[in-house]
């Protein structure tokens, strides 16, 4: 029924998910803003529907400004009710017939059955046109936010994992997002047990429940990323909100990249900074923010002024160059008469930080 991998040690960090005893999934969010969420205490955010927080971030994008949250609340409420009242009563007998096949844990079974429900009954699947591509420019924000996957039944890791979290909260489960480099998964963490769920592995029956060790060994999650609190940890409510804002920053950055327009790319900087304020440990957002802020420096400073990316490069080489492996990056003042600032950005900044782009 599911893909499981044996391991001797689970290397991720336990971060129990705080979910309110009851979430008002019918609350009217028409007058609520992202600023209201930012002002909330953690225990208050625990009572905010993840669907609502996701779409509150999304509707500040001009093309989604008219987005209404209530219709999506009703859809997810219906899906959660169908799963709770129709699917679980039919499927749970399979667990009791052979509990050893499901780690002898009914919550693990139910967690996987939620994926099975969305995959088989609702028809949620990964976008076929984005499967196996090396990199993606998300110029359509609906590819990243919950309105897109609910409307089309096709999504990405950006909104498919969030969909599972939003329904899990309706069921009262301690589930949140977790990061695997630039990828999002779902993570159940009640302080005693931890289960991962790969929400994009659809269309083949069953579900994928990789252990932390498998992500380390096969996907290449580093121990530094885990120890820093970036990867393989259930996100707190503030961190999850930061992840949603990071998706918006990704969209804005990609729009600029698709048009080779640095000024459009720079519009993502404030979102990267806000996302990192909420989730400072996330390594991919750090790399993206540093790259965009370096680009900002090209427009704020002349080549010979402290603050220009060249001076940053000199500082980094002076501070770290003697003790670290040479990256091959050389900070030499370019010939401004032959190379435009836009080309300089592509050559010296985006190329250096390209490994930090949030690719699928």
Distance CA 55, CA 328 (A): 42
Residue 254: inside a domain:
no
- Residue 123: count other Cβ atoms within 10 Å of its Cβ: 12
Average pLDDT, the chain: 86
- Asked if residues 154 and 160 have their Cβ atoms less than 8 Å apart, the reply is no
Distance CA 68, CA 184 (A): 25
Enclosing domain of residue 166? 2-237
Distance CA 325, CA 346 (A): 23
Residue 245: inside a domain:
no
* Mean of pLDDT values over 243-248: 98
Instruction: Please indicate, yes or no, whether residues 89 and 144 belong to a single structural domain of this protein.
Output: yes
Count of domains forming the chain: 2
Q: Between 88-97 and 106-116, two packed helices, what is the crossing angle to 10 degrees?
A: 130
Looking at residue 42, what is its pLDDT?
A: 87
**pTM of the model as a whole:** 0.87
Instruction: Please indicate, yes or no, whether residues 267 and 227 belong to a single structural domain of this protein.
Output: no
**Which of 237, 270, 288 is the last residue in one of the domains?**
237
Residue 161: inside a domain:
yes
* Mean of pLDDT values over 188-209: 89
Digit-coded pLDDT (tens) for 278-336: 999 999 999 999 999 999 999 999 999 999 999 988 888 888 875 555 545 444 444 44
* Mean of pLDDT values over 232-237: 96
Instruction: Please indicate, yes or no, whether residues 273 and 158 belong to a single structural domain of this protein.
Output: no
Instruction: Please indicate, yes or no, whether residues 226 and 281 belong to a single structural domain of this protein.
Output: no
Following DSSP, what letter does each residue of 192-241 receive, concatenated? S-EEEE-TT--SSSSEE---HHHIIIII---HHHHHTTSSSBPPPHHHHH
Instruction: Please indicate, yes or no, whether residues 284 and 224 belong to a single structural domain of this protein.
Output: no
Digit-coded pLDDT (tens) for 138-176: 999 999 999 999 999 999 999 999 999 999 999 999 999
Instruction: Please indicate, yes or no, whether residues 273 and 332 belong to a single structural domain of this protein.
Output: yes
């Amino acid at each position: 029924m599911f893909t499981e991998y044996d391991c001797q040690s689970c290397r991720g960090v336990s971060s129990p998910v705080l979910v309110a005893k009851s979430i008002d999934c019918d609350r009217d969010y028409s007058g609520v803003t992202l600023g209201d969420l930012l002002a909330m205490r953690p225990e208050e955010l625990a009572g905010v529907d993840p669907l609502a927080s996701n779409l509150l971030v999304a509707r500040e994008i001009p093309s989604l400004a008219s987005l209404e949250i209530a219709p999506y609340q009703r859809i997810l409420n219906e899906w959660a009710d169908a799963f709770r009242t129709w699917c679980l009563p039919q499927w749970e007998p399979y667990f009791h017939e052979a509990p050893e096949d499901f780690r002898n844990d009914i919550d693990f079974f139910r967690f996987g059955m939620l994926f099975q429900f969305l995959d088989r009954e609702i028809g949620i699947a990964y976008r076929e046109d984005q499967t196996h591509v090396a990199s993606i420019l998300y110029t359509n924000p609906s590819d990243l936010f919950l309105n897109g996957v609910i409307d089309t039944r096709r999504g990405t890791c950006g909104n498919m994992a969030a969909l599972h979290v939003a329904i899990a909260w309706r069921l009262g489960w301690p589930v949140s997002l977790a990061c695997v480099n630039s990828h999002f998964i779902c993570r159940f963490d009640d302080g005693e047990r931890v289960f991962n769920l790969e929400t994009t592995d659809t269309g083949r029956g069953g579900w994928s429940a990789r252990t932390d060790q498998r992500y380390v060994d096969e996907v290449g999650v580093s121990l530094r990323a885990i120890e820093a609190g970036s990867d393989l940890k259930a996100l707190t409510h503030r961190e999850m909100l930061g992840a949603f804002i990071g998706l918006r920053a990704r969209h804005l950055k990609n729009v600029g990249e698709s048009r080779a327009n640095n000024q459009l790319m720079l519009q993502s900087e404030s979102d990267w900074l806000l996302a990192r304020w909420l989730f400072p440990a996330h390594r991919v957002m750090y790399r993206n923010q540093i790259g965009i802020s370096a680009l900002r420096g090209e427009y704020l400073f002349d080549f010979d002024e402290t603050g220009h990316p060249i001076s940053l490069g000199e500082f980094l080489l002076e501070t770290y160059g003697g003790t670290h492996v040479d990256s091959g990056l050389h900070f030499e003042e370019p010939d401004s008469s032959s190379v435009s600032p836009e080309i300089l950005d592509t050559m010296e900044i985006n190329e250096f930080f390209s490994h930090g782009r949030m690719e699928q």
